[in-house]
Amino acid sequence: MNRLANSRKVELDPGRRSKQLAEDESELVATDRLAQTITEFIEWRAFSYWLCLIAETQGFVSDPMTAILQERCPGFLEYAAAYAAEHPREPAFLWLRFLEWTDETRFQVPIAEGWRHALGYYATRDPRMDQLRAHWKQCRRAWKLQPPASVPSFEAWRESAFHH
């Protein structure tokens, strides 16, 4: 086998292993429960994309955003502050902390029951995630050129993403 063919095989193997692992783990959970959890996962990822846009556009967490985070995600700001204190030399990527916090607090059951990989695998391949990513990228480009006069609410932004 030549070097290029061997390289391609190495690239495909992790994808095949990931798919197989997701298929195996999906047997640990009822189909309707997995589908519902995928929807919840996508909803939280949508919020993380919106949070990232707001934080990047404003350059800080405003008082209104702080209130939203405290109401919607109790404990998250404290989690992010504790992480920042433990890692003072790292940039404060709020949305990355949010993804970690979400996994640890909202998706404990799939982790404990052994089907977290299946959740992520199928959610990232869901057409709704494609819509979210495309909308996030479009907003990110547009907002860098011309920030919005007022940022949309999460609900309005999400609605726009799914009807874009």
Q: Is 75 left (phi over 0), alpha (psi -120 to 50) or beta?
A: left
Token pair of 19 as six digits: 């798919």
Domain residues for the domain of 121 are: 3-162
Total structural domains in the chain?
1
pLDDT for residue 2 is more than 80:
no
Q: How many CB atoms lie within 10 A of CB 25?
A: 21
pLDDT for residue 15 is more than 90:
no
The three-class DSSP label of residue 84 is helix
17-22 average pLDDT score: 92
Tell me what pLDDT residue 137 has.
Answer: 97
Tell me what pLDDT residue 93 has.
Answer: 85
Tell me what pLDDT residue 60 has.
Answer: 86
Tell me what pLDDT residue 11 has.
Answer: 56
Question: Which residue matches tokens 């391609």?
Answer: 8
Report residue 95's pLDDT band, with 50, 70 and 90 as the boundaries: confident
pLDDT for residue 7 is more than 60:
no
The pTM is what?
0.86
Mean of all residue pLDDT scores within the chain: 91
Spatial contact of 49 and 89, defined as CB atoms under 8 Å apart: no
